[in-house]
Chain A
Amino acid sequence: DQQVKQNSPSLSVQEGRISILNCDYTNSMFDYFLWYKKYPAEGPTFLISISSIKDKNEDGRFTVFLNKSAKHLSLHIVPSQPGDSAVYFCAAYRTGTASKLTFGTGTRLQVTL
């Protein structure tokens, strides 16, 4: 039973445009949601998170939106840059679970010139 889903395996966006990466979840008990970025041959790095009591969190070019009623979150990157080309993982955390994260399958973003 996959509790965190990223239904788009890949996305291609032109430089300067907006990238929107989507994530759906099934467990309403999750308290935090995170986005990780992963370059080839490197480990994932934390990008941005959002608490389940918020609906938006912004950090520079990156904004995460949470729609609890739809159990859906999205990561917006504006403007997209070639260095943003990477695999993005959505992850969810539930308090009291030894800080375990449940990851989605990832979306490969390619930002073209």
Chain B
Amino acid sequence: NAGVTQTPKFQVLKTGQSMTLQCAQDMNHNSMYWYRQDPGMGLRLIYYSASEGTTDKGEVPNGYNVSRLNKREFSLRLESAAPSQTSVYFCASTNPGGYEQYFGPGTRLTVT
């Protein structure tokens, strides 16, 4: 039981490049989330998926897109990376009707 896994762990992009961050959970959770963590800003919600087939914007969605591929997988795409997207990205999931979220280990992204 791996919990929530994220790939890659680290990534360096040039401004304008695109990439997809992958997230998968094996806990049969319905809801999945993408956060970014920046110094002094805490964890801010980018997008979430309450259930398979649905996605919604969070607090800071601009510059990102998501895909809920199936119940297990939720990916985050940066179409044209900007230096302001340099951050640590966390994926999380939760039980149906629950509030305790389980987090992956994070992806550290640097955009130069």
A: residues with CB less than 8 A from B are: 6, 9, 31-32, 34, 36, 41-46, 49, 89, 91, 93, 98-101, 103-106
State which of B31, B58, B99, B103 has its C-beta within 8 Å of the C-beta of A44: B103
B: residues with CB less than 8 A from A are: 4, 31, 33, 35, 40-45, 48, 50, 56, 58, 90, 92, 94, 97-106
Indicate if the CB atoms of A101 and B90 lie closer than 8 Å: no
Indicate if the CB atoms of B90 and A44 lie closer than 8 Å: yes
B101: chain A residues within 8 A (beta carbon): 46, 99, 101
In the bound assembly, the distance between CA atoms of A89 and B103 in angstroms comes to 13
- Where chain B touches its partner, the secondary structure class is strand
Indicate if the CB atoms of A100 and B33 lie closer than 8 Å: yes
| Of A32, A34, A41, A99, most B-chain CB atoms within 10 Å | A99
In the bound assembly, the distance between CA atoms of A104 and B37 in angstroms comes to 11
A100: chain B residues within 8 A (beta carbon): 33, 45, 48, 58
In the bound assembly, the distance between CA atoms of A46 and B94 in angstroms comes to 12
Given contacts A98-B48, A99-B94, A100-B33, contact A89 B102 (CB under 8 A): no
State which of A89, A98, A104 has its C-beta within 8 Å of the C-beta of B31: A98
In the bound assembly, the distance between CA atoms of A34 and B92 in angstroms comes to 15
- Tell me how far the C-beta of A78 lies from the nearest C-beta in chain B, rounded to whole angstroms: 23
Indicate if the CB atoms of A41 and B98 lie closer than 8 Å: no
A103: chain B residues within 8 A (beta carbon): 35, 42-44
Indicate if the CB atoms of B33 and A104 lie closer than 8 Å: no
Nearest residue in B to A106 (C-beta to C-beta)? B42
A44: chain B residues within 8 A (beta carbon): 43, 90, 103
For this complex, 26 residue pairs linking A to B, each with C-beta atoms less than 8 Å apart, are: A9-B40, A32-B99, A34-B99, A34-B100, A42-B105, A42-B106, A43-B104, A43-B105, A45-B103, A46-B100, A46-B101, A49-B99, A49-B100, A89-B42, A91-B43, A93-B99, A98-B48, A98-B50, A99-B31, A99-B94, A99-B99, A100-B33, A100-B48, A101-B43, A104-B42, A105-B42
